[in-house]
Chains A and B, each alone.
Chain A
Amino acid sequence: QVSLKESGPGILQPFQTLSLTCSFSGFSLGTSNMGVGWIRQTSGKGLEYLATIWWDDDKYFNPSLNSRLTVSKDTSNNQAFLKITSVDTADTGTYYCTQRDYYSGAFDYWGQGVMVTVSS
């Protein structure tokens, strides 16, 4: 049974770096064709794709945020990580990590999401 859970700071100030952790079970990023995708949901843009990290450490980013995003993984501990630099109020929203299928491109399973508020 696949399960994912996001964790993060909750609240941070403008210009800080947002660091999120995705802890998952039921699959491994050491297995071919597995990926973890990051998506956020904001009042301004709805659901917005951020990035994907694949089993082979290949990474894809949304070009609109490319320069601000970093993704990484810890295969041994079944974790994936997302960092967003220089946040502002537009980054306020709910952040989801997902299991992603390489062949279909769908986001098969989603974490419950973590709410992030950027406020001074």
Chain B
Amino acid sequence: DTVLTQSPALAVSPGERVSISCRASEGVNSYMHWYQQKPGQQPKLLIYKASNLASGVPARFSGSGSGTDFTLTIDPVEADDTATYFCQQSWNDPDTFGAGTKLELK
């Protein structure tokens, strides 16, 4: 299976820019997607196919990358962005998810 590696946690101050990385153990083309999960809630799609903003998602969120290295950027970060962020690839079978990056606000 394709392993997706994310850093476990980040802490930033409101108004700053933050980049969350996801590295795949093998190429996934551009078929990387990003989700936000707040405590007690279901995940919510933010970015699909590496760089496409999902419907209703603020433009503060953006995605980039291809192949094995991908980045989710939030600029500027707001207090409401406190959550865990997951990447998911759908290029190789089976679909796999990263373990998540917990974003905390200072």
Contacts and interface: CB of A to CB of B under 8 A. Distances in A.
B27 interface: no
Interface residues of A, number: 22
Nearest to B94: A62
Interface string A85-106: 0000000000010000100111
Interface string A61-89: 11110000000000000000000000000
A108 interface: yes
Interface residues of B, number: 24
A107 interface: yes
Given A106-B88, A106-B90, A47 B97 contact: yes
Nearest to A4: B42
A14 interface: no
A4 to B, nearest CB: 9
Q: Is the interface of A mostly helix, strand, loop or mixed?
A: strand
B12 to A, nearest CB: 23
Nearest to B95: A49
B90 A105 contact: yes
Contact of A110 (B31, B42, B97, B100): B42
A49 B94 contact: yes
Contacts of A47: 43, 86, 88, 97, 100
